[in-house]
Amino acid sequence: GQQLNQSPQSMFIQEGEDVSMNCTSSSIFNTWLWYKQDPGEGPVLLIALYKAGELTSNGRLTAQFGITRKDSFLNISASIPSDVGIYFCAVSKQGGSEKLVFGKGTKLTVNP
């Protein structure tokens, strides 16, 4: 089946540091999504990317859709304690309205 390789698996950083995580695939996808999941909750959409090469920001978050349509990265600048959680990339072939394939997640820990 389709697989996403998400890295790193976990990160331990100090408050104020910048964070970068990425996701790669062997297949082409037309939509890349980044979600955050807090413990005991469902994933919440952070950023959606629909065009190859697109760079999109949402506050301290920036994500890019790779030009080959096979990868994406998410950056978090000036991390704060509430950034703690698991970050997932997800892809779909269309606009994100049908089934999504998720990566295994990057677990972020921020030390105050």
In sequence order, which residues have a C-beta less than 8 Å from that of residue 4 and are 6 or more positions away?
A: 23, 24, 25, 89, 90, 91, 101, 102, 103, 104
Interaction of residue 26 with other proteins, rule CB under 8 A = no
Q: Is 94 in the site for other proteins (CB under 8 A)?
A: yes
Residues 3-22 interacting with other proteins (rule: CB under 8 A): 4, 6
Q: How far is the CB of 66 from other proteins (least distance, A)?
A: 19
Q: Which of 22, 29, 46, 105 binds other proteins (CB under 8 A)?
A: 105
- Our finding on whether 98 is near other proteins (CB under 8 A) is yes
User: Cα–Cα–Cα angle for 49, 81, 88, nearest 5°?
Assistant: 30
Q: How far apart are CA 16 and CA 111, in angstroms?
A: 9
Q: Quick one: 14 or 26, whose CB is closer to other proteins?
A: 26
